[in-house]
Amino acid sequence: MSYEDDLYREIITDHSRSPHNKGRVDPADFVAHDHNPLCGDDVEVSGRVEDGRIVDIAFQGKGCSISQSAASIMTDLVKGQELEQANAIINSFKVFMMGKGEPEIPIEDLGDLEALGGVKKYPVRIKCALIGWNTLLKGLLDYRKAHAQ
Ligand code: ZN
């Protein structure tokens, strides 16, 4: 095992043991939920939006350490971001994880997210890393639909 693998494992373990922004935003402008029957991951993401910016976000649920740490890292990254920027972060992470094309935002600019790159070696775990992100995407889509002019 390489030094990098160790480092990545440590970041993932830290986030899954002490998740950031765990719980539910109340009142929330969007709440979305997703479930991965393959490994029992269950994630709910809730958030509040003001002036086109995610001012608060939280997640709760249960599942493997990868799903929980990826959701924790996600809340850190998108909190305070404009919706458009949040979408760019989500899409960049998905491109990075799927290994298709160049992410719009280089992964090294996205903090602890790079640690999840180690997961790419295990294709069935990619779903675990993405569940929180796909749930947020769903929540933001619902929000946009509800607030479309
Ligand atoms: Zn999982």
| Span 44-71, average pLDDT | 96
Q: With 80 as the cut, is the pLDDT of residue 4 above it?
A: no
Q: Which residue has the tokens 């790419």?
A: 120
Confidence bin at 33 (pLDDT 50/70/90): very high
CA dist 107 and 96 (Å) reads 7
| Span 43-69, average pLDDT | 96
| Span 1-12, average pLDDT | 76
Q: From the CA of 88, how far away is ligand 1's center (Å)?
A: 24
What pLDDT does residue 53 have?
97
pLDDT tens-digit map of 61-87? 999 999 999 999 999 999 999 999 999
Q: From the CA of 9, how far away is ligand 1's center (Å)?
A: 15
Q: From the CA of 4, how far away is ligand 1's center (Å)?
A: 21
DSSP letters spanning 52-106: TEEEEEEEEEE--HHHHHHHHHHHHHHTT-BHHHHHHHHHHHHHHHHT-S--SS-
Q: With 90 as the cut, is the pLDDT of residue 27 above it?
A: yes
Q: Compare 32 and 11 and report the one with higher pLDDT.
A: 32
CA dist 81 and 53 (Å) reads 6
CA distances from residue 28 to 20, 23, 46, 57, 76 in whole angstroms, order as listed: 18, 12, 6, 9, 17
Confidence bin at 149 (pLDDT 50/70/90): low
